[in-house]
Amino acid sequence: MGVSTKTDLALRQKRKAAIIRLHAKGWSDSEVADAIGIPRRAVGSYRERLNLPANGRNERYRKRVAENTKRQLKAAGVSSLAEIKALEVAKLAKALGWPEHLSLRSIQIAESLYQRGPMTRKQIANAIGIEWRGSRKTFSGRMPGGSCLAELQRSGLVVRLQSAITHGGKGNHEDVYFLGLEIEPCQANRSKSQLRRLKLP
């Protein structure tokens, strides 16, 4: 039908040579693809036919990540990635109308209580999608009070109603947590992108 094209053997050999040379320098498939102007998948196919292993997290990769990290830190005016995360969490808290000092997990809990109403610890864990590991371990963290729920209570946002639910069996008393009656986050309108960011680990 006249749609086939003749294989350019010279070009193919040139690409193979370039892939071998750049691969030996520790370049990833994506970097090689950008350098020689072909799709990354094509580079992978060439490499596999040449029996060359993928360049994973080698020394070149680690140096590149370190350089990118330095640029990010400099641009953000901070000294560590932890500070960048803290700034992002504070920015998210402000966008949702919660105090900026809260941890990401505490924001998740406050937002769930705001959206769903009073809940037990197990119900909160289920609402925010984390594994239940017992009353003490599930919400523990490095914040005032040693846990997210303690942080929220110390901040005056959440009220704990002790032994509000009673049932038979072991651990037959459960506390219930809810936002204070006067608590209302400043930003009532929540975008989907803001709520998706609450899923960050």
- What is the distance between the alpha carbons of residues 30 and 156, in angstroms, rounded to a whole number? 50
Residue 175 structure tokens = 């506390």
Q: What pLDDT score was predicted for residue 126?
A: 92
pTM across the whole model: 0.57
State how far the Cα of 11 lies from the Cα of 19, in Å rounded to an integer. 12
pLDDT interval class at 3 (50, 70, 90): low
Distance (Å, rounded) from C-alpha 118 to C-alpha 156? 16
d(CA 65, CA 68) in angstroms, rounded, equals 5
DSSP for 123-148, written as a single string: HHHHHHT-----TTTTTB-SSTTSBH
Type of residue found at 44: G
Can you name the residues that pair with 166 across neighbouring β-strands? 173
What confidence tens digit (pLDDT) does each residue in 45-91 have?
999 999 998 887 777 778 888 888 788 778 777 677 777 777 888 88
Q: Per residue in 120-150, pLDDT tens?
A: 999 999 998 888 888 778 888 777 678 889 8
